Amino acid sequence: MKPVILPPHQLRCFYQGGARIAALRGDGGDESWSPEEWIASTTPRYGEVVAGLSALPGGQLLREAIQADPGSWLGAEHVAAFGADPAILVKLLDAGERLPVHVHPTRDFSRQHLNCPYGKTEAWVVIEVTGDDPHVYLGFKDDVSAEDLRALVDSQDSQGFLDLMHRIPVEVGDSIVVPSGTPHATGAGVFVVELQEPTDFSILLEHKPFDIDGETKGHLGIGFDLALQAVKRTATSLDELASWRGHLDLTKPADQPQKTMPPIADPYFRADLVRPEASAAVAAGFGVLVVIDGAGSLDGTDGPVAITSGDVLAVPYSAGEVTVTGNVGIVWSRPPAPDEAGKGA
Ligand SMILES: [Zn+2]
Q: Consecutive sets of 10 residues in the chain, 345 residues long: mean pLDDT of each? A: 95 89 81 89 96 97 98 98 97 94 98 97 98 97 98 95 98 98 97 98 92 87 96 98 98 97 98 97 98 98 98 98 98 98 93
Q: Tell me, in angstroms, the distance from the centre of ligand 1 to residue 91's CA.
A: 11
Q: Tell me, in angstroms, the distance from the centre of ligand 1 to residue 299's CA.
A: 34
Q: Tell me, in angstroms, the distance from the centre of ligand 1 to residue 55's CA.
A: 24
Q: Tell me, in angstroms, the distance from the centre of ligand 1 to residue 247's CA.
A: 20
Letter string b/e over residues 136-145, b meaning 16 or more CB atoms within 10 A of that residue's CB: bbbbbeeebe
With a CB cutoff of 8 Å and minimum separation 6, the contacts of 86 are 40, 42, 66, 73, 74, 198, 286, 288, 335
Q: Is 56 helix (H, G, I), strand (E, B) or coil?
A: coil
Q: Tell me, in angstroms, the distance from the centre of ligand 1 to residue 203's CA.
A: 9
Q: Tell me, in angstroms, the distance from the centre of ligand 1 to residue 185's CA.
A: 7
Count how many Cα atoms sit within 13 Å of the Cα of residue 231 in the half-sphere of its side chain.
29
With a CB cutoff of 8 Å and minimum separation 6, the contacts of 197 are 87, 88, 89, 107, 118, 119, 120, 121, 122, 180, 268, 269
Q: Tell me, in angstroms, the distance from the centre of ligand 1 to residue 120's CA.
A: 8
Q: Tell me, in angstroms, the distance from the centre of ligand 1 to residue 101's CA.
A: 8
Q: In DSSP terms, which residues pair with 61 in a beta bridge?
A: 55
Q: What is the pTM of this model?
A: 0.96
Residue type, 11: L
Q: Tell me, in angstroms, the distance from the centre of ligand 1 to residue 175's CA.
A: 14
Give how far the C-alpha of residue 173 lies from the chain's centroid of Cα atoms, to the nearest Å. 15
| 39 in Cβ contact with 194 (< 8 Å) | no
Q: Tell me, in angstroms, the distance from the centre of ligand 1 to residue 182's CA.
A: 9
Q: Tell me, in angstroms, the distance from the centre of ligand 1 to residue 328's CA.
A: 29
Q: Can you list the domains of the chain with their CATH numbers?
A: 7-247 (2.60.120.10), 259-340 (2.60.120.10)
d(Cα 10, Cα 191) in Å, to the nearest integer?
14
